[in-house]
Amino acid sequence: MHELSLMAGVMDLARQELERHGASRLTLMRLRFGELDQVLPDALRMAFAAMTAGTSWEGARLELEEEPLELSCPLCGHRFRPGARSALYAPCPSCGETTGFGVVRGEGVFLDHLEAE
Amino acid sequence: MEIPVVRNVLEANDRIAARLRGEFARRGILALNLISSPGSGKTSLLERTLSDLAGEFRMAVIEGDLQTDNDARRVAASGAAAVQINTDGGCHLDSSMVSEALLSLDLDGLDILFIENVGNLVCPTEFDCGEDAKIALLSVTEGDDKPEKYPYLFHKAKALLLNKIDLLPYVDFDTARARACASALNPGLAVMELSCRSREGLDLWYGWLRAAVRKKREGGTL
């Protein structure tokens, strides 16, 4: 449900960036979100469609990329990608440690790329 | 025209949160963001805490709900200052709402600010409100697999309160399982079992609060 608020933040950033580059009509937007962030792609698409409808940005393409989770082991420093979300609890494939993994990637929501005219 | 950007979508929220965090640090106020499903007992916990520790700390509450000021009225009955935010359908509080609510509170001499978030295990976790710690509440009627199903909150929280333990004889809640999963996600997590109704375990929570206030006054981080 927080996808609507996230998209409102995205739209603000996109407007700032287009203005800075002297462009006015958005044609493509690329967003990246971490596997940990509990973001629903369909809800993001719906929010984007609703917020661009009836504006000059209507019809712009939205590309979404989910960044897989990458963890680091607190004991041996090994970096690995758990196979599934529940594998947050899985042992480190290198040394077998089971807790305290740090998150290297796969957290946060980022506006990566825009195309405009 | 191609515009490479790479900007954090939450940067506007995080900027306000950082300002609030600075303000809380300057004033030595411990700010806690209470997050749980609806009905886990956040408001009951505050009612107990505000009346039991009234002689010890000056406390204030920001209440987040979709509608009504029921909760603000409940906690204000303890004598503590309370402000209600109605999100009108919004599923979480964000830093700008907290910033706005703070305008109605007297922060002078305040020891603890409780931010009771909208009942929701997912969205509130994502939005930093400038707090020192997120406190997760989980009641035993909800099921012991919640830390597995909703890992992000338990990964981010500094304390987990297992509430309504007076109901343990009547429900199939495996306390050890909930503890083990939450601690695996977050080994530093303080887990406390309590019941706001029977008062069992509340002393553990009060002990945690006292230590946190002390740490904050000394300028440390939790």
Task: Give me the pLDDT at residue A88, please.
Answer: 58
- Contact A10/B at CB under 8 A: yes
What would the pLDDT profile of B211-221 be if each residue is shown by its tens digit? 999 999 998 88
| A27 three-class SS | strand
Class of B11-216 in CATH: alpha beta
Tell me whether residues A17 and B5 touch, CB distance under 8 A: yes
Is the pLDDT assigned to residue A41 strictly greater than 90?
yes
**Considering its fold, how many domains does chain A have in total?**
1
B1 chain-A contacts, CB cut-off 8 A? 21, 23, 115-117
Is the pLDDT assigned to residue A89 strictly greater than 70?
no
Task: Give me the pLDDT at residue A97, please.
Answer: 86
Q: For chain B, give the mean pLDDT.
A: 94
The CATH number of whichever domain residue A99 belongs to comes to 3.30.2320.80
| pLDDT band, residue A100 (cuts 50/70/90) | confident
Task: Give me the pLDDT at residue B183, please.
Answer: 87
Domain encompassing residue A98: 3-116
What would the pLDDT profile of A49-74 be if each residue is shown by its tens digit? 999 999 999 999 999 999 998 989 99
Tell me whether residues A111 and B6 touch, CB distance under 8 A: yes
Nearest CB neighbour to A37, from listed B90, B126, B183? B126
The domain ranges of chain B are 11-216
A10 chain-B contacts, CB cut-off 8 A? 9
